Amino acid sequence: MTELQMGLIGLGAAAVVGVFGYNKWQEQRHRKMAEAVLKRQHDDVLLGDTPKVVSKTPTSAPERSEPEIGIEQPEASDNQRLEPVMLAEDEPIAEAAEVAKVAERPLVTQPEPEPVHGKHVHSDEHHALPEVDLPATLLDPRLEFIVAMELVDPVSAHQILHSQREVLQKVSKPVHWVGFNDLTREWVRLGADASMNVRRLRVGLQLANRMGPVTDADLVVFAGAMQALADELMAVADMPSIRVRDQAVEIDHFCAEVDLEIGINLVSKGTPFSGTKIRALAEAAGMILGADSLFTRYDDDGRAQFYLQNLESTQFSPESIRTMTTHGLTFLLDVPRVDHGERVFMQMAELAKRFAETLHGTLVDDNRQALSDVQLEHIRREYIGKPQAVMASYSLPAGSAQALRLFS
């Protein structure tokens, strides 16, 4: 090997050692710089309690800082409604991202109420029935023994009326049924054709009528029937004391004082009256022949004012009146059942006079004594005016609903 070759080999080895040393120096230099950076104390922006601003020096390497959101988000309750947020163009993207994050939370709504099974909610749990007084025209505590019932559930009037029908048929006095109509908010009489449902019921046993006062036996039967009805309907019954016998007797005495029926008789002078003429005169006067064999004159409200009947035993009927004849007729006025009785009596007397003139008859009293105008005026004043004044003083005017029940 020549000296030239040896020199080249030595030069190459020196170059290799130089490069290797330079690399080591560079590696050590960069390691120190990295340690200096990594050993610097700073808080994690995600885990730290309060964000810190790291100052930058010209000699330090640039550090990466995470974006910090300085918006405090209100705590949304479960039921809080979140409105959509419109962002301005200059708002930070981070703020929009946080709002979107909150908006993405699932909404918690009020749970749907569970249906209640097995319980019937009555209308009165929400709306109490109005307190409407029971009109005396339907039931009067002076004249009837009244039982009040409040039912738990509405019951048809038909069922109520038929519940104790057989038992109540043993009672000698009328029984009146009244129910409260929730739709019209009024008390109504319950008849055989009533179709309404009833929750408030009033039942009254009449204490007296023209047949006399109620008996103790009637009261006992009625009270027992009402108790049985309340048990059947699951109703709360308010039943007064059945010791009302004295009250019934007092009512009966009152009835006897004013219960009068005034008649004007028309008798023939020899020739009997023709049935066809009687019918023609009666119908011309507005009287109607009814199933009771009486011609009846009604007022504009359909209430009976006075009647016309045959003085003899043969009754009027559409068939018999065509061929019948009679020697007498009777005009009747039922004093306690007719309002303005004095005026109605004078109308009846005038009509009787026209009949007498047309049929050639005579007006007489029950003793077959002729009636003059003076006598008719006396009858009007003493036997109609005074009794009806007594009735009015007891707040039971003639022709009223109470009087029609009492004098039946």
Express each pLDDT in 170-180 by its tens digit: 999 999 999 99
The tally of CA atoms less than 13 A away on the side-chain side of residue 236 is: 3
pLDDT score of 209 more than 80: yes
Is 31 contained in some domain?
no
Query: What mean pLDDT value characterizes the chain?
Result: 81
Statement to judge: residues 264 and 395 lie in one domain: yes
Among 235, 254, 273, the domain-final residue is 254
2-35 burial, b for 16+ CB within 10 Å, e for fewer? eeeeeeeeeeeeeeeeeeeeeeeeeeeeeeeeee
The confidence score (pLDDT) of residue 62 equals 44
Q: Which residue has the higher pLDDT, 293 or 38?
A: 293
CA dist 201 → 147, 160, 196 (Å): 8, 9, 12
Strand order from edge to edge, sheet including 186-189: 186-189, 175-181, 197-206, 144-156, 235-238
Q: Which residue has the higher pLDDT, 67 or 377?
A: 377
Among 211, 229, 254, the domain-final residue is 254
Share of the chain above pLDDT 70, in %: 74
Statement to judge: residues 306 and 250 lie in one domain: no
Looking at residue 166, which CATH number applies to its domain?
3.30.70
Is 83 contained in some domain?
no
CB 146 within 8 A of CB 241: no
The confidence score (pLDDT) of residue 45 equals 44
Q: Which residue has the higher pLDDT, 380 or 128?
A: 380
The confidence score (pLDDT) of residue 98 equals 47
Read off the pLDDT of each residue in 183-198 and give the average, rounded to a whole number: 91
Statement to judge: residues 204 and 291 lie in one domain: no
Query: Residue 210: which domain range?
Result: 132-254
Is 26 contained in some domain?
no
Is 355 contained in some domain?
yes
Read off the pLDDT of each residue in 368-384 and give the average, rounded to a whole number: 96
Looking at residue 333, which CATH number applies to its domain?
3.30.1400.10
Q: Which residue has the higher pLDDT, 35 or 405?
A: 405
The confidence score (pLDDT) of residue 128 equals 54
pLDDT score of 27 more than 50: yes
Report how far residue 255's alpha carbon sits from residue 337's, in angstroms, rounded to the nearest whole number: 12
Give pLDDT tens digits for 110-119: 334 333 333 3
Read off the pLDDT of each residue in 383-394 and give the average, rounded to a whole number: 97
275 Cβ contact list (under 8 Å, min separation 6): 316, 320, 321, 322, 323, 324, 325, 326
> Count of domains in the chain?
2
What is the distance between the terminal CA atoms of the chain, rounded to a whole angstrom? 166
Statement to judge: residues 263 and 248 lie in one domain: no
Report how far residue 163's alpha carbon sits from residue 149's, in angstroms, rounded to the nearest whole number: 14
Statement to judge: residues 342 and 204 lie in one domain: no
Give pLDDT tens digits for 135-180: 999 999 999 999 999 999 999 999 999 999 999 999 999 999 999 9
Is 13 contained in some domain?
no
CA 226 to chain centre: 24
Q: How many helices, marked H, and strands, marked E, lie in the chain?
A: 11, 15
Statement to judge: residues 240 and 263 lie in one domain: no
The confidence score (pLDDT) of residue 23 equals 72
Statement to judge: residues 280 and 244 lie in one domain: no
Among 208, 226, 254, the domain-final residue is 254
CA dist 307 → 331, 348, 357, 364 (Å): 6, 9, 19, 17
Statement to judge: residues 247 and 263 lie in one domain: no
Statement to judge: residues 203 and 272 lie in one domain: no
Read off the pLDDT of each residue in 284-306 and give the average, rounded to a whole number: 96
Is 313 contained in some domain?
yes
The confidence score (pLDDT) of residue 13 equals 80
Q: Which residue has the higher pLDDT, 229 or 2?
A: 229
Statement to judge: residues 153 and 281 lie in one domain: no
Share of the chain above pLDDT 90, in %: 64
pLDDT band, residue 29 (cuts 50/70/90): low
Statement to judge: residues 297 and 232 lie in one domain: no
The confidence score (pLDDT) of residue 335 equals 98
The confidence score (pLDDT) of residue 122 equals 42
Is 304 contained in some domain?
yes
For the whole model, what pTM was predicted?
Answer: 0.66
pLDDT score of 124 more than 70: no
Strand partners for 268: 361
pLDDT score of 71 more than 80: no
Q: Reduced to 3 states, what is the DSSP secondary structure of residue 355?
A: helix
Report how far residue 46's alpha carbon sits from residue 257's, in angstroms, rounded to the nearest whole number: 109
Statement to judge: residues 235 and 287 lie in one domain: no
Is 189 contained in some domain?
yes
